[in-house]
Amino acid sequence: MFPLSAQNPDPQSKPASGNAVSAEEQAEFDAAKNLDESGATQPAIAAYREFLKDSPASPLASKAQYRVAELLESTGDLSKAFDAYQTLISRYPDAPEFEKSVSKQVLIANEYLGGRKLKFLGMELVPATDRAEQMYSSILKNAPFSKNAPVAQFNLGLTYEKQGKAREAAAAYQGVLDKYPHNSIADDALYQIGYVYMQIGATGRSQDLSALVQAKNTFEDFLIQYPNSEKAAQARDNLASIGGRESGDLLAVAMFYDRYKNYRAAAIYYNDVIRRQPGTKNAKFAGERIQVLRSDIGDDALRTGPERAETGEKVALRRRLQAQIETSTLADFNGPPRKDIVPDELPMVSKPKLRTDVRDVRPLPSVEPALPTQ
């Protein structure tokens, strides 16, 4: 995971406020600092906290609070360290340690997102992705204009993905595009939106076609906006997989009509497969089948015209198929799964093979604060 390097406050730096430091404040701060420099971690933390209790408005208060957070971090208690950095952000928003504190918070949240276990009474509990979610949300709430906010927004999406909250993840990635459209991670966010909807489409639920359409549109937008991205090749592969899924659905309907000798309707769907996915295996099969039908029954039988009488059972099944194809692509469709509508004997298309996984996407690191100019 990402290294958590300590950043000791510069002893020569000036107080955060223009107010003078009283002799009593300086003496108490120096006493805590001496414990700190001697390696007495816990006594130093206690001394800094006592100083903050006695002098919460001191120009040295933000330095003391920052050092408390760093010392907690050094002990491995990252959850309490995060909260200590949060105290600094909330109480001293104008402090020079503000941006460094946000950066440290992102690093800590990344640790939990990456699999660090939350401890309670010294015992390790299950990986705390829910704690990571809380941390990123806290960063965005309290420091929405920090240079690290876009990273927190993106990593919040990763957290939702790991929790199986696909639509929440897509919304979090969309937040990057809405709030930070010119940030360097905007392309990653747009790609992840497409990938999330592709995952939803691969589940086989009743909304799968709607999600696949959204994934297709997103990947197409991605290639238009970021044609030179390192993810462009993967986006094109994903589009090919999605196209195969769509053509497979149409092919299943065409084969249904073909089986029940409604050759005109079958030809319509076979041609739709060819039009939507030229050059694919499904398109080749559809073209070959159309040629066989032309040879067996002639072109006239495939032209638009009155259909043969159908049995009541066949009419009902055909209408159910048509209704499924026409409505399952709607975003608000909440009908039964396709497996409950398409007969079992009809070929079902396999899910598109995903060539990436949320486990392969590492949380983005925090933005390093600028080096001091003096």
Q: How far apart are CA 142 and CA 88, in angstroms?
A: 11
Q: Any long-range contacts for 365-371 (C-beta under 8 Å, 24+ apart)?
A: 365/2, 365/106, 365/107, 365/110, 365/151, 366/2, 366/102, 366/103, 366/104, 366/105, 366/106, 366/107, 366/110, 366/148, 366/151, 367/103, 367/147, 367/148, 367/151, 368/103, 369/99, 369/100, 369/103, 370/99
How do residues 118-130 score in pLDDT, each as one tens digit?
655 455 554 578 8
How do residues 134-189 score in pLDDT, each as one tens digit?
999 999 999 999 999 999 999 999 999 999 999 999 999 999 999 999 999 999 99
Residue 309's pLDDT is what? Answer: 47
Residue 185's pLDDT is what? Answer: 93
Residues of the chain with pLDDT under 70: 1-19, 116-127, 204-209, 244-249, 304-362, 366-374
How do residues 8-26 score in pLDDT, each as one tens digit?
444 333 444 446 889 999 9
Domain at 1-7+23-147, CATH class? mainly alpha
The structure tokens 């909440």 sit at 334
Chosen CATH of 150-366 out of 3.40.50.300, 2.40.110.10, 1.25.40.10, 1.20.1630.10: 1.25.40.10
Residue 248's pLDDT is what? Answer: 59
Based on its alpha-carbon atoms, the radius of gyration of the chain, rounded to whole angstroms, reads 30
Residue 322's pLDDT is what? Answer: 56
Q: How far apart are CA 263 and CA 195, in angstroms?
A: 37
* Alpha-helical runs (H) found in the chain: 23-37, 41-54, 61-74, 78-91, 98-113, 129-142, 149-162, 166-179, 186-201, 208-225, 232-259, 263-276, 281-297, 312-327
Q: Any long-range contacts for 361-364 (C-beta under 8 Å, 24+ apart)?
A: 361/158, 361/161, 361/192, 362/114, 363/2, 363/109, 363/110, 363/113, 363/114, 363/155, 363/158, 364/110, 364/151, 364/154, 364/155, 364/185, 364/188
Residue 226's pLDDT is what? Answer: 93
Q: How far apart are CA 257 and CA 7, in angstroms?
A: 70
Are the beta carbons of 172 and 151 closer than 8 angstroms?
Answer: no
Angle at 190 between CA 137 and CA 246, to 5 degrees: 125
Q: Where in the chain is the domain with CATH 1.25.40.10?
A: 1-7+23-147, 150-366
